[in-house]
């Protein structure tokens, strides 16, 4: 299959890796890379950790050196938002953004190959609009704003949501000596993914480091006169706050594709090869596809998946249906909190069978493996990177849960 040109919407990790993959495949046609931020593609995981703490500067976030970016010979359009797409006419509407105050006019491009990597945006707390001191954390600019707020003097921080982003922000704030309260609506952090037992391990990690963690609790209101002053909880209690960071999940950025002819359902729906329609693929946080390895339709919000899926979706644009291969990764994720490196591979569910393969929960240094229907489906490790990677390889090989228990790593 010959593509005259490829347009990538999303100057993200997935979008950049897609462009690199196209050039590695000797694609010498025009590549347009569109991003709605003014920053060149950058790395997001440090935004809640090293960068937020002030240990890293912006230069360390770059995903590639300027000369390497130049070598890709891209038509790089930053500060440009995709506004619409029509599958039949192949017309892509784009809007040039000014410094955040509004739109500066737009144009239409006729695209040949299209790769969608528009990612996701943070959910917000209803009623907190217009209050200074309330933040989400998704972008470089978000992290810069939170970092400035953390450094403004004695600060009382409330983190809403104890998922991985919320937990990392809480850990970073505590390491800076800030007073931190973290609110979680579930009985234990991450219990929908890891189950209550492992969620309790995560909870104790934060309590041991001085976080006031409140579980099974909702936020009724964020209050203040122009600036946040307090957070009112569902049990009637009130927490005084100078900074509130909201980490309650994300929503895939697909509104611009309404009426496009593509199927949208919690992301851009693709087939097993990442193809959404003829000449259209998707990758990263915005893509939803059937992962045949797990027999599950999934949308994965992890760094490693964006890298691999970006490259896979790019290659898919260059091959015919008979040559296309399914995208069957073992999802992998890590999170740094205090002195613990937490890693997870596979697809863990709260009802899976769990076995502590090595280490100790009490010491917060262990590897736990998970089985479902007789198969090894996941591994969770606290400061056990070698074991996590080896069990990940067993998942890739289709190992049984019994064999995984018998393995000695």
Whether 188 maps to a domain, the answer reads yes
Q: Are 35 and 10 within 8 A, CB to CB?
A: yes
Number of domains in the chain: 3
CATH number of the domain to which 51 belongs: 3.50.50.60
- Percentage above 70 pLDDT, the chain: 98
pLDDT in tens, 337-387: 999 999 999 999 888 999 999 999 988 999 999 999 999 999 999 999 999
Final residue in a domain of this structure, among 246, 265, 284:
246
What does pTM read for this prediction?
A: 0.95
The verdict on residue 280 lying in a domain is yes
- Please tell me whether residues 22 and 107 are part of one structural domain: yes
Do 33 and 58 fall into the same domain? yes
Beta strands in 87-226 (DSSP E): 91-97, 103-110, 113-116, 120-122, 134-136, 156-160, 179-184, 212-215, 219-223
SS3 59: helix
Structure tokens at 270: 């693709």
Tell me the per-residue pLDDT of 304-329, one tens digit each, with 9 for 90 and over: 999 999 999 999 999 999 999 999 99
Whether residue 358 sits in one domain with residue 274? no
DSSP state of 16: H
Do residues 102 and 130 both lie within one domain?
Answer: no
The domain that contains 390 carries what CATH number? 3.30.390.30
Query: Is residue 116 located within the same domain as residue 134?
Result: no
331 inside domain: no
State how far the alpha carbon of 52 is from the alpha carbons of 45, 168, 173, 207, 306, in Å: 10, 10, 9, 21, 22
Over residues 20-48, the pLDDT tens digits come to: 999 999 999 999 999 999 999 999 999 99
Domain final residue, candidates 277, 299, 323: 323
With residue 372 as reference, give the H or E element that holds it: strand 365-372
| Cα separation, 254 vs 268, whole angstroms | 7
One domain, residues 90 and 195: no
Give 67: exposed, middle or buried? Use CB within 10 Å, 0-12, 13-18, 19+: exposed
Backbone φ and ψ for 263, nearest 5 degrees, come out as -85, 125
Q: Are residues 97 and 19 in the same domain?
A: yes
Domain contains 334: no
Range of the structural domain that residue 282 is part of: 6-121+250-323
Residue 174, in any domain of the structure: yes
- Find out whether 149 and 133 touch, Cβ atoms under 8 Å: yes
Mean pLDDT of all residues in 60-73:
96
**161 plus 12 within the same structural domain:** no
> Measuring CA to CA, which residue among 352, 332, 354 is closest to residue 343?
332
Same domain, 12 and 110: yes
Same domain as 47, residue 141: no
What six digits make up the tokens of 62? 């770059």
Same domain (yes/no): 131, 237: yes
In a domain, 333, yes or no: no
């Amino acid at each position: 299959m010959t593509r005259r040109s490829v347009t990538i919407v999303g100057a993200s990790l997935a979008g950049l890796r897609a462009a690199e993959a196209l050039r590695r495949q000797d694609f010498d046609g025009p590549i347009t890379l569109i991003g709605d931020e003014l920053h060149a593609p950058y790395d997001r995981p440090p935004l809640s950790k090293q960068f937020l703490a002030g240990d890293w500067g912006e230069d360390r976030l770059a995903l590639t050196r300027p000369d390497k970016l130049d070598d890709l010979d891209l038509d790089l359009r930053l500060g440009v938002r995709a506004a619409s797409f029509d599958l039949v006419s192949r017309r892509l509407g784009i809007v040039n953004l000014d410094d955040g105050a509004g739109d500066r006019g737009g144009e239409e491009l006729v695209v040949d190959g299209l790769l969608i990597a528009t990612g996701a945006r943070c959910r917000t707390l209803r009623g907190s609009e217009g209050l200074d001191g309330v933040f989400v954390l998704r972008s470089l600019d978000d992290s810069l704003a939170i970092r400035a707020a953390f450094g403004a003097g004695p600060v009382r921080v409330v983190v809403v949501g104890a998922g991985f982003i919320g937990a990392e922000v809480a850990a970073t704030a505590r390491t800076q000596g800030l007073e931190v309260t973290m609110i979680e609506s579930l009985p234990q952090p991450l219990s929908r993914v890891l189950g209550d037992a492992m969620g309790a391990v995560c909870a104790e990690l934060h309590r041991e480091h001085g976080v006031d963690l409140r579980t099974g609790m909702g936020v009724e209101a964020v209050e203040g006169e122009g600036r946040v002053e307090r957070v009112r909880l569902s049990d009637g209690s009130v927490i005084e706050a100078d900074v509130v960071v909201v980490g309650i999940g994300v929503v895939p950025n697909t509104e611009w594709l309404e009426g496009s002819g593509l199927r949208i359902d919690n992301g851009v729906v693709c087939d097993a090869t990442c193809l959404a329609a003829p000449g259209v693929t998707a990758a990263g946080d915005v893509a939803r596809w059937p992962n045949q390895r797990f027999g599950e339709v999934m949308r994965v919000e992890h760094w490693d998946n964006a890298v691999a899926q970006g490259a896979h979706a790019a290659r898919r644009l260059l091959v015919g249906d008979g040559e296309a291969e399914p995208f069957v990764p073992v999802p992998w994720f890590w999170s740094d909190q205090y002195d613990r490196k937490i890693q997870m591979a596979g697809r863990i569910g709260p009802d899976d069978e769990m076995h502590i393969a090595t280490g100790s929960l009490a010491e917060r240094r262990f590897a736990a493996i998970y089985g479902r229907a007789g198969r090894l489906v996941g591994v969770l490790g606290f400061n056990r990177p070698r074991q996590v990677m080896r069990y990940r390889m067993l998942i890739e090989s289709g190992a049984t849960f019994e064999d995984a228990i018998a393995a000695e790593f």
